[in-house]
Chains A and B, each alone.
Chain A
C-alpha cells in the first residue's frame, strides 16, 4: 500500500524550509524505490514544529518535527514510514497537547487534508453546509447564522446574521459578497492559514452567503503580501467552478454564484471595510463615511455583505451542525470558537482554535509556553497594531469581546504578540503612532496629522523634554484621534499608545538621569 507523507506547503512552513525537506523526501523515496506519496497539506498551526512531516500509519498520523533537509536520510534509516523512533519523532500529532486541547470547528480540516483535493474536502465533511443551504430558504439560512451568535471575526465583532439580514432584505438588481482577506494586523495569520490550508471552506461559506442574501458575485480581496494564499485561492476557485460548486447553478440548484480573487496593493488601511470597497472599485483606498452602510450601499453602490475570512469560513460548520451546536461553545455574548494566534516572542507559536472564555494567561503561559527567549513576559499586544498592550497583571482577562472592552482593550482578529522584559513600551507606543502615520489614508485630520504629531511628542518624552507636559499632550491627542476619526486606524491607534502609558508608566519616565549617573 502506498504510504502517504504529509509535508506542509503553508507559507510559514515554507519560510522554515519545507520545500527543501519535500525535495529531500522525494529524492529518498526515489533512491530507495519506496511506495510512498507526498501530500502537500496546509499547516496544523503548530508553527514551532514546522516543517512538521507526518506519516499515515495503521495507527494514525505520526509526526516528526521540526525537520531539516539534513534530517531526511536518517528519518528513512529509522523507518519513519512505519512510525519508527527518531529524535524528531513527536508521536501521534492529534495527541500533542497543543492540538488535543483545541476545539477545531473552523479549522477542522486545516493541515489535515490536501487543500486542493475536493475528494479530501468532501471526505472530511466539506460541502454538507452548502448542500443544506441549497435545500432550504434564504431566510432560514440567515436565521441559522443569526441564532449561532457568530460575530465578525475581523475585529469589530458585529453580528454576522444581522449584516446578512440587511442585505437579504435590500432590493437591488445586483448584490455582492466581499471577503475581507486583507489580514494586515501583525500577529495574525488565521486568514492566510485557512486560505492556504482549506480554501474550499471559504468558497463554501461565500456561496452560502450568496444564496442567503441573493448575491450572485463574490470577491476575495487578498493582500499582496500573501502570494501563496492568492495562488491557492485562485486554483481552488477554478476547481470549484469545474465541479459545479460555483457558476450558474450552485450544486445543481437554481442559485448562481461565482467568485473572483483580487490582490490588494500594500495598503494596510484597505483592511477597513469601506476603504477595501473603494480599492475593489479601483479607487484610492480612502475610508467612506457610514451611513450608508455597505449592506445598503456597498460595492459599486449595491447591497454588499463584507465579512472577514474566518467569519465566512465558520458558516459551513454552522449550517452543517446547526446553530445550537455552534452557540453552545463560548461565553456571554461571544459564542462559538475563536482561532487565537500566538505570535512574536513565544515558545509555542501558532494557531489555537478554542471556545471563547479561556483566559489570556492560560493562552500565553500554558498553551504558548511563555517567551521564546526564556525571559519573563512583560507585555502582550492583543488585536494587532491597533490593539492594547496588556501587562501580566491583566492575564486573568477571559477571551471575550466584552471582557476585553471592559479592560480598555480589544480582541480584534485574535492575534497575541508576546514581548519579553527587554521591550521598551515607549518605543512601542511611538511605533503605533508611526505606523498610523505611514498607513493613514489621509481623510481624517486627527489620524493624518495627529499621528505625526504623536511621534514627535513621544520623541520629546524620550529625550526628557518636559515629559509631564508632553505626556498630557499625548493623552489629549489620543482623545482627539479616538473621537475624531472615521475608522479604526485613527480611532484605535490610541489603544496601544494609552495602554502602554497606563500599564508601563516607568518606561515613559525620564531616563537621562540614570544615563547621566553611569
Chain B
C-alpha cells in the first residue's frame, strides 16, 4: 500500500536524523527542528521512532511537540507568512495590516489557503520593533509594512 510505504519511509528518514543528533546533550528539540526541516512538519509517524531511540514514552514526545508553537502537525502552504501582532507593532497598526491581508488572502491566522499557496500565522515579536509593523515571509524579514508592501507580499504568495 502506498500510505504504508510512505510511513515506512518517514520512519527510516526519522531514524537517520535521530541517529545523527542523539549524541547531543538534550537532543529532542534539535531533532524535532531537523525533522520539521526535512518534512516541513513533524509527522505522527516520527514520534514513536524518536521515543524509542531516546528511551522516552510516546506521551513525552507528544507532549514536547505540542508544547512548542513552531512544530507543525501538518504541512504548511508553499509560503509561510508571519505577521507580528505584539505591542510595538500594534502601536503602528499591525491589526489593520493583518485584517487587510486576511481579507486579500481569504484566510485567517493559523489557516492555509485552499490552493495551498500560503499559511498565515501571527508571531509575537520579530525584534523589528523600531521599524514596525513587521512581517516575515519564508524567513525574509519585512519592516514598516504599508499598503505597498502588502500588495507586494500578496503578489509574491500568489505567484
Contact = CB atoms under 8 A, between A and B. Distances in A.
A262 B131 contact: no
Contacts of A419: 91
Interface in B26-63: 26-30, 32-33, 54, 63
Contacts of B141: 11-12, 14-15, 228
A297 to B, nearest CB: 15
A343 B129 contact: yes
Given A186-B89, A344-B132, 7 more contacts: A263-B29, A265-B32, A285-B68, A300-B26, A344-B88, A344-B90, A438-B124
Interface string B126-145: 11111110101001111110
A284 B67 contact: yes
A111 to B, nearest CB: 14
A262 B92 CA distance: 32
Contact of B87 (A268, A280, A351, A431): A431
Nearest to B133: A344
A450 interface: no
CB-CB nearest 7 A-B residue pairs: A282-B28, A349-B130, A15-B143, A343-B129, A186-B86, A265-B68, A266-B69
A507 interface: no
Interface bin, chain B: 35 or more
- Looking at B89, B125, B144, the one whose CB has the most chain A CB atoms below 10 A away is B125
A435 interface: yes
Interface stretch (A201-209, A219-227, A245-253): A219-227
Interface string B115-159: 000000001111111111010100111111000000000000000
A263 B24 CA distance: 13
Interface string B63-100: 11001111100000000000000111111100000000
Contacts of B127: 11-12, 183, 188-189, 191-192, 225-226
- Looking at B32, B88, B144, the one whose CB has the most chain A CB atoms below 10 A away is B88
B20 to A, nearest CB: 15
A431 B54 CA distance: 39
A313 interface: no
Interface residues of A, number: 65
16 contacts: A14-B141, A50-B131, A184-B125, A187-B88, A192-B127, A225-B136, A262-B29, A264-B29, A265-B69, A266-B70, A268-B124, A282-B29, A283-B28, A344-B87, A431-B90, A435-B124
Interface of A: 11-12, 14-16, 47-48, 50, 183-189, 191-192, 217, 224-228, 260, 262-268, 279-286, 300, 341-346, 349-351, 372, 381, 384-385, 415, 417-420, 423, 428, 431, 435, 438-439, 441
Contacts of B140: 14
A337 B31 CA distance: 39
A420 B93 CA distance: 11
A423 B89 CA distance: 12
B26 A282 contact: yes
A48 B64 CA distance: 40
Contacts of A372: 92
B130 A48 contact: yes
Contact of A12 (B26, B29, B87, B143): B143
Contacts of B70: 224, 264-266
Contacts of B128: 11-12, 15, 189
Contacts of A435: 86, 124
Contact of B124 (A186, A264, A286, A344): A186
A345 B92 contact: yes
Nearest to A227: B139
A15 B134 contact: yes
A74 B110 CA distance: 44
Nearest to B95: A427
Nearest to A265: B68
B88 A186 contact: yes
Given A15-B141, A15-B142, A265 B130 contact: no
B125 A284 contact: no
Nearest to B33: A263
A63 B10 CA distance: 53
B87 A428 contact: yes
